[in-house]
Amino acid sequence: MKYRKILLIASALVLLGTAGCGKKEEASKEELKSTVQEEVQDKESQPVEGEAVKQEEVPANQNLLTGLGDLSEGAIGKRPVAVMVNNVQKAMPQYGVGQADVIFEIPVEGDATRFMAMYGDYTKVPKVCPIRSCRYYFPALSQGFDAFYVNWGIDDTIAEYLQALNMDQIEGITNTGGMFGRDQDKLNQGYSLEHTGYFDGTMLPAYLEANQIRTDLKEDKKGTAFQFYGMDEQVKPEGKDCTSVDIQFGAQSSQFTYDTEKMVYAKQINNTPQTDGKTGEQLTFTNVFVLETDISVRDEVGHKKLDWDGSENSRGYYISNGGVQEIHWAKSPNDETSYLAFYDKSGKEIKINRGKTYIALNYRDKVTFK
């Protein structure tokens, strides 16, 4: 069931009056990926004369979110975990986010932002705080990874949509597994209640086993989440040099500064280093994506309406290894279970460097590079 149809029904019931969506481009991501795969197969079937064809050995414990060989044995072939995290200045510092493999940052009400932190190894999810509620476009993205979805609280107007997704949601209000609670230290320090909820990810494997919830990835999700370069490659994107990124969401902002020695981008929130409260380390990423999309207000509360599937013409930017490249991005139209993929101007799917990835979905023309 498509969210746009469900949202119209829900809005009629609560007299919210949502707007209709424009028609998507006809070309799907699958068609684009099929073309790329055919090109790759053609090239691989025609080795250069006099050269031996080398097949790179990828470790069996490859993390499908990062391309790195760091999964525990028990997590090979298993589903990742997506956790909703509060990301306003008053909630800082968060903890547990430093161990995330992929972080999505997207505006919510009032143009503050929220994180969806993703962990490729479900046996190593840490205790994460502060946990926050769901907005429909986050699970629309997490479903493409076949991920468990963790949140605390809900926007009631999207309940029917979430049910239609048929996802494995672990929700703090109704969960009885003892994995959610309030951080007493934060309460003692005077944090508001909404900034103190935690999810104890260390309890997740036992909870899934006790409730007989599927942990094996679906067959079509056993490949890497992104197209990666080789294990020992570090490639600079085709484009201009980029040592700093500034993303303006509205009520807050995110900045990234390139560390030439470590070859990662260090994150700031509102021009202040964003650190993990347990380790004290600043959040860093090998890859940074800024994906421009259509965002509007859909009700009187301020909930957002967001185009999460893009098209082959949706503009974005890939930043890594000191460079920035203009790209296009897409999921299959109205298909939450499809992969999120990135394409160059010719329509060919790009490869990215192995490592942690940050992805912002934001308004158009709200990012600057230096």
Q: Supply the mean pLDDT for the chain.
A: 89
What's the pLDDT tens digit per position in 301-343?
Answer: 999 999 999 998 899 999 999 999 999 999 999 999 999 999 9
pLDDT at 365 over 80: yes
Phi and psi based region of residue 108 (left: phi greater than 0; alpha: psi -120 to 50; beta: remaining)? beta
CA–CA gap between residue 350 and residue 341 (Å, rounded):
8
Question: Which secondary-structure segment (H or E) carries 117?
Answer: strand 113-119
Tokens standing for 312? 């082959």
The per-residue pLDDT for 15 is 38
pLDDT at 112 over 50: yes
Cα–Cα nearest to 117, from 130, 128, 106, 102:
102
Q: Alpha-carbon torsion 145, 149, 150, 152, what sign? A: positive
Calculate the alpha carbon distances from 271 to 73, 248, 260, 358, 363 in Å.
39, 11, 19, 17, 19
What's the pLDDT tens digit per position in 177-217?
Answer: 899 999 999 999 999 999 999 999 999 999 999 999 999 99
The per-residue pLDDT for 53 is 52
Write the CB contacts of 128 (distance below 8 Å, at least 6 apart in sequence).
Answer: 83, 85, 94, 95, 96, 97, 117, 198, 199, 201
The per-residue pLDDT for 55 is 77
Task: Give the residue-averaged pLDDT of 281-287.
Answer: 98
Place 54 in a pLDDT band, splitting at 50, 70 and 90: low
CATH superfamily, region 3-19+61-369: YerB-like (3.50.90.10)
Angle, vertex CA 65, rays to CA 64 and CA 67, nearest 5: 60
The per-residue pLDDT for 11 is 44
Place 30 in a pLDDT band, splitting at 50, 70 and 90: very low
Place 83 in a pLDDT band, splitting at 50, 70 and 90: very high
The per-residue pLDDT for 46 is 45
